[in-house]
Amino acid sequence: MTAPTDSPPPLGIVPSLNTPFTADDQLDTGSLTRLADHLVDSGCAGTLILAVAGETSRLSPDERDLLAETVLARIGSRLPVIVGLTAESWEESLARAELAHRLGAWAVLWQPPPETAEAELAAGLEDLARAGPGTVMLQDLDWGGGGFPIETILRLHRQIPAFRAIKVETVPAGPKYSALLEATGGALHVSGGWAVSQMTDALARGVHAFMPTGMEPIYCEIFRRHRAGQIEDARALFERILPVLAFANQHIDVSIRFFKHMRQASGLFATDRCRPPVPEFDAIQAAECDRLLRLALDVEENLAAGT
């Protein structure tokens, strides 16, 4: 199956998926299938697999391929799927881009180091354009800074037709969203990832998609309300989950473990197992996790009940 290069870009919530493991530390394809169905049922616009939230660096190459095959076989005809290219070598990244193309993914996501020179970025994007499904998403990730220069991103967007999307995870993110959207007239698909804690700010700026982990029914409803002009209702719902974001966004490992707990509590995952070096919660974190899980699940249940 091959994804058409003119597939419309996702508009809405595009979760970055956790990777479920069995009690004996194998990839749990049953839980992964349930999670894939959950995305469709929740109203998600697409999904991102094999990214940081999926503990991808702890997966073997065979596990990464199996995960991609499982998700795309289940929902690749129903939702756009973006495949992350984290790998031990560039050759493996290209091979994964080729697999994504064969399986019918909408795009591949490339995360180069923030200091990568513009010429190297151009060469990498062109390689991935040839190997992949037709759309390359650049991950502009800088945990403590501004990421790639806006001028560099704009030149690459003009030069390389397949570079049609970017995932912005910089500090701060908001002004960069606006600058990229304004400079390209919205032609560059802009997503927010880790900066989803500024979701209402990003919605006001016209960001196309958001890539959180977990709480999909809540995020989808926030996006729906905002698009329907129910701005205050969207903001009120978002503010209900801010305590969860304050806890989960302390560190990427805290986020991974928290949302693994939530996946298990909601019946999607058989276990909440994480692979090292994601640490266990200590007693205080565990108590806070339980309290916030109940908050998030209560909000989801109220939405489902229409209350």
Mean pLDDT of the chain: 95
d(CA 98, CA 271): 32
User: 2-16, 110-124, 254-268 — which is least confidently predicted?
Assistant: 2-16
Question: How would you class 177 by CB atoms within 10 Å of its CB: exposed for 0-12, middle for 13-18, buried for 19 or more?
Answer: buried
Distances (CA, A) of 162 to 119, 136, 137, 253, 288: 16, 6, 9, 32, 44
Give the pLDDT confidence of 228-239 residue by residue, as tens digits.
Answer: 999 999 999 999
Place of tokens 């007239």: 185
Structural domains of the chain ordered from first start = 12-230 (3.20.20.70)
Separation of alpha carbons 100 and 51, rounded Å: 14
pTM of the model: 0.96
For residues 24-49, give the mean pLDDT: 98
Is residue 223 within 8 Å of 13, Cβ to Cβ? yes
pLDDT higher than threshold 60 for residue 125: yes
CA distance 166 to 147: 12
Rounded to an integer, the average pLDDT of 7-21 is 94
Q: Where are the alpha helices (DSSP H) in 241-282?
A: 242-248, 252-265
- pLDDT score of 195: 60
Q: What is the structure's pLDDT at 6?
A: 55
pLDDT value of position 19: 98
Note whether 192 and 166 are within 8 A (CB): no
Helices marked H in 186-265? 199-205, 216-227, 231-240, 242-248, 252-265
Question: Are 51 and 301 a contacting pair, CB within 8 Å?
Answer: no
pLDDT at 204 > cutoff 50: yes
C-alpha closest to that of 219 among 202, 234, 201: 234
pLDDT tens across 75-92, in order? 999 999 999 998 999 999
DSSP, res 194: G
Per-residue pLDDT at 269 exceeds 50: yes
Q: Tell me what pLDDT residue 114 has.
A: 84
pLDDT of residue 5: 46
